[in-house]
Each structure stands twice: as structure tokens, then as C-alpha cells.
Amino acid sequence: MDVWAFASTGPYVLFRQNATQFYAALNNIDIFQARRDMLEKAGIPEYPIPQDLKYSKAMQETAIEVITSHPFRYAIFHATSFIPFFTSSGINEYDRLINDLQPDFNPEPEPSLIQALHPFSLPVLITVIKNHGWTLVENFFWLIITVFAFLGMWFSKNKRLIRMFWAIIMYFALVTGPIAHARYRIPIEPLLLISAFSSVFFIWSNYREHFKNKLKILENKLFKR
């Protein structure tokens, strides 16, 4: 029979994701060693992973202690998670979900994009690309969308609306932080797409005549008309 209990989701996520990943990057160790060290710091049994209210105070205090010990470096670490947040692959997550449902699925630990970016490591980045190279098409797609969405901030005539869009977008990016999975981007994907395609439309409509004139000049030069 299942047991119902209150879970300390906030302290758990702060402890398990934000602080632990930062601790791993700070000390240049793998995530599993970082998890063990963090649990030891908090005086929490290693297994099973506690999520009940009993350890919520210890998790929160330990997480805050680790983060505030290097606030500037954590700010940089948190900011680097924006890249995976905006470019992460949903296909990769669906693939992992399907594999997780397999009874014998027990993969070797793989480095994440965040680990490759902070601190920056070219070998780790190459490993990430090798492991997830087939998802690069989607990563590239979202990179282009993000670039055009940022351009939309400058091109939009309705500054009030675009500021509201980006306040919502950056809120989700900031709150998500190191937990940079594509599923957390879903709520703001419509805003990104609207901003990106409005930017594309602006560029097309404003520079179409300019491009036409350039092509005519080039054509005249080539054919000496």
C-alpha cells in the first residue's frame, strides 16, 4: 500500500539541482561524487534520496551555504544555464523517457552541456556532442529561434508587449536555472516563436526592396546592361 506524505520540493530542488550542480562545477568533480558530498555536508543518509519534510531544513541551509559561499561564481554558473534552457532538445528528453521505462536501462553517467560550459571544457563539450549529436538539428533550430527572438526585442513597435513577453521568458529561464530541460521551456515557447517570427517578418518587409535593388545592381554589373 502506498504512503502519502508531504514533500519538501523547494528545498529538495535547490539542494539536489542548483547547489549540487554548482558544487560539482566548483570542485571539478562528477555529479555523483558531488551528491554524496552534499548529503554528507547536510548530515543526510545517502540512500534513499530523502524528500520528506524531516530533512527540508538541512537541505535548504546546506544549499544556501554552498551557493552563498561563492555568490559571484554562482551567478555566472546560473547564467550559463540560459544556453541549455533556450537550446535544449525535446527529442533527447523523449528518447531518455522511453529508455527510462525499460527495466534494464542503466546507462553510464554522461556529462551535461552545463558541465561542459562551466567551467568550459572542450573535451567535455566534444563528448556531449558525440553522445547527443543527432539532436543537434533541434538544438540549432532553437538557437536560431532564440537569436531572432532577441532581435524581436529591438524591432518590435509594441515595446510594452515585447517587454512583457521577455519578462515572462526571463522569469522561466531564471527560475529553471541549472535544471535546463526542454520541458521547462514549453510554457514560453509560444512567446519565443511569436517574437522570432515577428523579427523575421520585420527584416523581410523592411529589407526586401533593399535586397532587390542590390540584386539589380549586381545583375547590371554582371550582364553589363
In a domain? residue 3: no
In a domain? residue 113: yes
Domain span holding position 88: 82-223
**Where does the pLDDT of residue 1 fall: very low under 50, low under 70, confident under 90, or very high at 90 and above?**
very low
pLDDT in tens, 66-85: 999 999 999 888 888 788 88
- Do residues 19 and 62 both lie within one domain? yes
Task: Give the global pTM.
Answer: 0.69
Total number of domains in the chain: 2
In a domain? residue 100: yes
Which one has a higher pLDDT value, 94 or 121? 121
- Which of the residue ranges 107-116, 128-137, 173-182, 194-203 has the most confident prediction, judged by mean pLDDT? 194-203
pLDDT in tens, 142-193: 999 999 998 888 877 788 888 888 899 999 988 888 877 788 888 999 999 9
Phi, psi of 81 (to 5 degrees): -75, -10
Q: Which of 129, 131, 151, 155 is nearest to 140 (CA)?
A: 129
- Do residues 112 and 218 both lie within one domain? yes
- Do residues 58 and 158 both lie within one domain? no
With beta carbons less than 8 A apart as the criterion, state whether 111 and 127 touch.
Answer: yes
Rounded Cα distance between 136 and 145, Å, is 14
Burial zone of 91 (CB within 10 Å; 0-12 exposed, 13-18 middle, 19+ buried): middle
28: left (phi over 0), alpha (psi -120 to 50) or beta: left
